[in-house]
Structures are given as structure tokens and as C-alpha cells.
A and B are shown apart, each in its own frame.
Chain A
Amino acid sequence: MLHAPRSGRAVTAWGSIAALVLLLPVVAVASLALGANALSPGELAHAVLHPDGAEGDVIVRSLRFPRTVLGLIVGAALGAAGVLMQGHTRNALAEPGLLGVSAGAAFAVVLGLRLELVQGLPGMIGAAAIGAASAAVVVHTLARRSIRQGGAALVVAGAAMTAFLGALTSAVVLLDAKTLDSYRFWAVGSLAERGQETPVTVLPFVVAGLLLAAVNARSLDLLALGDEVASAMGLRIRRARLVGLLAVTLLTAASVAACGPIAFIGLLAGTLARLMVGASWSRGVLAGALVGAVLTVTSDVVGRLVAGPGELQVGVVSGILGAPLLIAVIRRRELIL
């Protein structure tokens, strides 16, 4: 990290954040207008301002509007979760998908549905939260010794956790054709056809998670100097870790329950956010949430455009965009933050 004068660095950081805020409406409008059935600006304005049940109005209001809002919410959640996880583990590769947290949420949801313990989205979010938190705690505990060096053991533990939970998930869905059929569409990570209420239902969870993340980010600035220094400065380390875990759990669980596991958004958002705002975690969480929202909606639009008349699910697009980035991160940068 280059040490530019502090004020200059902060100006660049806030400039990037402002640019992201301006980018949000642009991608949102694009998401409303573009797709298998592209709309002109006039049609779009018509649908937004004076809807009268024309074809364009229906497409925008009942299909594209919910998925755009959902994309913004879920993207912000995953982006902030990615930044938080990278801060707590001091690992440039930490994100919900790679560390098994999403897999934990997914398994809990599938198991809950199969055993008919949960119903509807709130129940799924609850199950996902339990699964996500358990997976996060197990991976973090097992690889804790290596976290000080910020090494690859964490990533390997995450991969093992993902494989383990993935196998259990396969076992559950393979025993039941009905679960299998809905599972495969959910598992790929998609914003499409999630219903009108889904954004409304997940919003409170994501807002709570983002608030916790914002609070926690200040602790991360201290934790970045090492546990000893942070605690000497009066930070309660255990509480900071717990708040972080709670925030990551809420954010991941809400997004996984709503859209299925979407890989790499957290990684992309975390990496880009740090490039933009530097070493400040407070600004990093904000930037990460914005980057996540922009990326998710953009990936969704790209998926609709490249594969028309069908579509590529957002999880596939983010996977295809994210994997090269992951490898670039491994090759170019230090893994330790």
C-alpha cells in the first residue's frame, strides 16, 4: 500500500464512493430497461410514471423492478460481508462463498425444507443464519492458528467445509426429486422469479446487518494493527469478533435464502473496495456494499443480454467474472492484509 498524504488519499476514497453512488441509478435504470425485451426510454418512463397495464408496464413493474431491488439489496449485503470477512481474517481471499459460509446457509435451508421444519422466506433466513454462523465459526476456529499469518489454511479449510456441506446437500436433494428440481435453480444463484415480496422480506435483515457492519468497521481499523495493539488501545476483541460474526451471518443468510449462493461478489467487492479506498475499513465497508450492489445488478443485466432469449443466472456471471480475479489476486498481491 502506497502511503499518499492522508488528505489526498481520503479525497480519492470519497471520490470513488461518490462515483459509485452515481453509478447505482445508472445500473438500476439499465436493469429496468434491458433484457430479452428491451424498452425505449419512453416506454420505461411510461411504465414508471403512468402505468396502464401495457406489456412494457407489466414487465417493468412486476418482473424487472423486484429483481433490480433484490439485486441491489443482496449485492450490498454480499459486498459488505466480503469486506468484513477480509478484515477479520486478514485474508484477501475471504468471502462467504469461498469460506463455506454460503454452503452452510444453503445446507441448512435445504435440510430445513426437506424436513419441513421451515416454511417461507423468513423461516429460510432463520435456517440460513444458523447454518452460516455454524460454518463460519467452525472454519474460523479450525484455521485460527494460521490466521495470524493470513495464510492459505483458511482458504483450504473453507474449501473443505464447502465440499463437506455440498456433499450433505447433495445427499438431501438426491433423495427427493421435488427438492432436487427446485434446488438446482436456487443453488445456481439467481435474482429471477423470486416474487414481489422477497425484497421486502430480506430488507430488514440486510439493513440490520449493514448497521452492525458499519459499527464493526471501526473496530476493524484497530484490529488491523494486531490483536495486542488493538486491545492495548481499549478495544474489546471478543465483542468485536462477535459483532463481526453476527453481521456476516445476517448479511450472508439473507442473501443466500433469497437468491441462493452467489459466489465471488464478496471477493470482487472486497478487492475493488480496498483498491479504491485503501486501508480504511470504515470506508471499505461502505465502498464494498456499493460495489457489491453495482456488480450484482450489472452481472444480472449481462446475464440477460448475452444469453438471450434465455438468461445466464447472476451466480454464473459473477463466477465467470470472479474466478479470473481470484487468480489475479493470488498471483499479484500478498494474501495477507
Chain B
Amino acid sequence: MSLGVLLPAERAQASIRSSATPARLTVLAAAVLLLAGVATSLAVGESSLTLGQVLSTLVGQGDPFSRLVVVDFRGPRVGAAVLVGCSLALAGAVLQSVARNPLASPDLLGLNAGASVAAVAVVILAGGNGGVSGLAASVGLPVAALVGSLTSGLVLYLLAIRGRQLDPVRMVVVGVGLAAAGTALVSWLLTLGDVMVVGPALAWLSGSLHAATWPGQAGLLVVLAAATGPLVLLARRLDLLVLGDDTAGGLGLDVHRTRILFLLLATALTGAATAVAGAVVFLALCAPQLARGLSRASRPPLLASALTGGALLVWADLAARMLLSWTGFGPTELPVGVFTAVLGAPYLLFVVARQRAGSEGIPS
């Protein structure tokens, strides 16, 4: 064992830390994919626009018809897809780092379920014909979803922590239990309402951007913007949390407070996103892991995860919107959440099947 400060010549130039190039490329690729998805989604539909028309409308030129289609018809939906995708993926990236478990995501941890119970309660109990409207929709729904997801986040935290230590496996299993309990409550709520209310409620539950409006996503925009600041400032602490509680504590991190703060941020993002789009499942699980794999990072990178999530949801929503009209399978469109679940659940099963028992952060 050499004790001197001998620097081999070939290492003297480059930094000892790994290169940031894969991470930057991932961010770039995800951003391109996101923008392409937004442009395509705005252009494609019952009345197709050219890319030129979309672009000129976006910079404020465009003819009135294009303006109507882009800004009023398709805009809210595409905007919601971007915001929801980014928020959920951010929440997933944060939770996976905090729980040191690639399986941690708002849906598996039951945060979605809490938001769903609260929101469905509002829809069923306050809803008139065909769903909620007015004040109940614009204020009640987001607030209820936020409260619901914060409540389940609190319960999760209290149950998953023992002796101030967080057990990554326990956290996921507690979450599965919370989600199952939430499902039972939602099933019951669904039997209470009129079938005209239940249909939209179930579609919303399955994760749908169909009813997105500009005012409806203002709350999500506020939460996302508010969460970005602390996330950017504190991202470095996630690097420590993934090393385990004792190591992070030994490196001078206030583990308890840091973890609560991150959980709060993830929970708020989940609640706000769920209020807009319902339970879009598996996105928060897949997007961060995809970004992590491409960036070759030790935890899901935040910016790349958010962009990946946004891109995935925009494209998935476009597919959900167009699939039925292309295949002629029926007049109704599939909720995008059905789409993400059908694609994402096999991925989760693949992760479970591939992982070797006892390896890092993985329930064995």
C-alpha cells in the first residue's frame, strides 16, 4: 500500500470524479424528445396542422383557427402532460433516492392512493351530472388530492421508520398495504355515485388528461415551481442519502430532517399531479430509472428524470389519444394511465425478476 501522493501521469489531467457527459447527453436527448412530443401532439388530431402552423402559433403569429386548436383545444392537454410527467418523475426520483430502493414510487408507496381516495370523495359527494365543476373542481379537487397524498405520506413515514432508521424494504411493503387499503375505499366510493359521475371518476382514476384545462393546472405549476428551488439547492444531499443513514449522518447530514423535507416535496408533487391527471401509474417508477440508466448515475438524476417523465407522458398521451382512432377499435379513447400501466407494470415485473436477492436497496 503506497502512502505517498503519487499521481499516475494519465490521471493527472481529468478529474477523479466520473465524467458528466452521459448525464448531459441524457438531459439533451430527453429535452429534444419532449419538445418533439409537444410539437407533434399540438399538430396531430382530428384537424391536423402542419408543424409550421404550430410553430408560428406558438410564437404568436398563426391564423385564428390554428390558435383555437393549439391554444384552446390541445394546449391544455399537452401542457398538463408535460407538467404531470415532470412532477411525477421528480417525485419518483426523489423517493427512490430517499428510500434507497428502485421500486419506490408514489403509486407503489400508496401516495397516489391517498390522493385518489380524497379526490374521488370530492367527485362523488360534490359532483353533479358528469363530474364536478365550478369551485369544487378548481379548488376542491386539487386541495383534496394534496391533503390526501400528504396524509398517506405521513402515515407511510410513521410506519416505515423504526428507531429513526428507514428500512427501504419495509417502506415499500407498507406502501403496498396503504395502496391496497386505498383501493378498497375507492371501490366503495364508486358504488355511491350515479353512473354518470362514476364513469368520469373511473376514467380520472385510471389517469386521464382528457379533461385538462389551463386553470386546472395552475396549482400544479405553482407546486412544481415551488419544489424546484429546494430540489436544486439540496440535490447534493440525495447523493449522501443513498449511502445509508449512518454514512450520511457521519458525513454531517441531518438525515431525519433532510428525509422529511424530501418526502414532503415528493408528496406535494404527487398530490398536485394526481389532482390534474388522476392516477398515472408507473411513470414515476420508470422515468427515473430510465434516466439513471442512461446517465450511468448512482441515483436518478433530477433534471434528466423530470424531462424523461415529461417526454414519456406526452408521447404516451398522444398514443392513447390516437390509438383507438387509428385502429378503429371504438369511439372512446383510453385513459393515458391505462396505457402507462400496461407498459409500466411489465417493466416493474422485469425489475423484480432480474434483481438478485440481497443486492443493494432491493427487497430480497
Contacts and interface: CB of A to CB of B under 8 A. Distances in A.
User: Are A and B in contact, CB atoms below 8 Å, in the complex?
Assistant: yes
Interface of A: 93, 97-98, 138, 141-143, 145-146, 148-149, 151-153, 155-161, 163-164, 166-168, 170-171, 173-175, 177, 180-181, 184-185, 187-189, 263-264, 312-313, 315-316, 318-320, 322-323, 326-327, 330-331, 335
Interface string B328-364: 0010101101100110011011001101111000111
B191 interface: yes
Contacts of A161: 345, 349
B199 interface: yes
Contacts of A331: 159, 162, 170, 174
A323 B152 CA distance: 13
Given A170-B335, A330-B174, A320 B184 contact: yes
Given A151-B357, A167-B341, A330-B170, A174 B181 contact: no
B107 A156 contact: no
A175 B195 CA distance: 14
Among B162, B202, B345, B364, the one with the most A-chain Cβ atoms within 10 Å of its Cβ is: B345
Nearest to B324: A175
A145 B338 contact: no
B338 A167 contact: yes
B170 A181 contact: no
Nearest to A310: B192
Contacts of B212: none
Contact of B349 (A157, A177, A326): A157
Which 3 A-B pairs have CB atoms at the shortest separation, nearest pair first? A319-B184, A323-B181, A164-B345
Given A174-B202, A175-B332, A319 B185 contact: yes
B202 A188 contact: no
Given A142-B353, A174-B206, A319-B185, A188 B191 contact: yes
B342 A143 contact: no
A331 B163 CA distance: 12
Interface of B: 103, 107-108, 159, 162, 169-170, 172-174, 176-181, 183-185, 187-188, 190-191, 195, 198-199, 202-203, 205-206, 281-282, 330, 332, 334-335, 337-338, 341-342, 345-346, 348-349, 352-353, 355-358, 362-364
B281 A156 contact: no
A323 B363 contact: no
A167 B282 CA distance: 11
Contacts of A322: 181, 184
B175 to A, nearest CB: 9
Contact of A171 (B170, B181, B338): B338
Contacts of B191: 184-185, 188, 313
Contacts of A168: 338, 342
Contacts of B362: 153
B357 A156 contact: no
A160 B179 CA distance: 12
A161 B356 CA distance: 20
A313 B188 contact: yes
Contacts of A318: 184
A174 B198 CA distance: 10
A322 B178 CA distance: 11
A313 B349 CA distance: 31
Contacts of A170: 202, 205-206, 335, 338
A263 B177 contact: no
B125 to A, nearest CB: 14
A73 B282 CA distance: 36
B173 A188 contact: no
